[in-house]
Amino acid sequence: MLHLRQFKKYYHHRLVLSVEELILAPGIYWVQGANGSGKSTLLKSLAGLLHFEGEVVLNNACSLRQQTKAYRRLVNFADAEPLFPPYLSGRNMAALFVEAKNGDATRYIEQMNMLDYIDDPISTYSSGMLKKLSLVLAFIGQPALILLDEPLITMDEASLQVLFRWIREGHEQGVSFLLASHQAPMDITDTLVVASQTIKRLTV
């Protein structure tokens, strides 16, 4: 599913992440590490948001460097602390992603119970509302891989159940997931671990 070769990430000439080679088969991966260990840097690099050295290839065919547009169409990302233009509404953001990803956001917005505020300016959103919007955007289209950075923070229990259902459904349809968190998989709600063997653990 995902192949990293000679991956290196520097900040101000300081090496912060190095992966000589890593091959991930399709599935759900729980990327665990302490704060500052590089989890967000890894996911943002894999999403094509940060420059890095080396190569990342999806499904043995789509190179992030050589087929950037095609790669980004297949890889979706939700940030740990999402930032969006404050003057846009949630619906405006969803419309942009729907056009870019050739998908639909209606059912995700409805299932996250966002209809009461989806047309309000994002500047009025709470952290929980921003998190839900970020997750909705990450599921739009037909991604092969979804990257979720700290997906459990600032989420209420009902919204978490919706997210867990989306992950289960996506996994059943062949979508792979990398979920980064400081928490261990066994610490989270059992609902996420549909079958413990489906959650593979990586440490950063």
Sign, CA dihedral 15-144-80-66, equals: positive
The pTM of this model reads 0.88
The two structure tokens encoding residue 134: 């970020």
15, pLDDT greater than 90: no
Which band of pLDDT confidence, cut at 50, 70 and 90, is reported for residue 114? very high
55, pLDDT greater than 70: yes
129, pLDDT greater than 90: yes
- Burial pattern 70-85, b for ≥16 Cβ within 10 A else e, equals ebbbbbbbbbbebebe
The average confidence (pLDDT) of the chain is 87
Which band of pLDDT confidence, cut at 50, 70 and 90, is reported for residue 132? very high
Which band of pLDDT confidence, cut at 50, 70 and 90, is reported for residue 187? very low
Which band of pLDDT confidence, cut at 50, 70 and 90, is reported for residue 144? very high
**Total domain count, the chain:** 1
pLDDT above 70 covers a percentage of the chain that reads 89
pLDDT of residue 32: 79
The two structure tokens encoding residue 161: 């159940």
200, pLDDT greater than 70: no
Domain containing 133: what range?
Answer: 2-203
Per mean pLDDT, which of 104-113, 151-160, 179-188 is the most reliable?
104-113
Tell me the CA distances in angstroms from 152 to 2, 80, 109, one per residue in order.
Answer: 24, 9, 18
Assign residue 187 the CATH number of its domain: 3.40.50.300
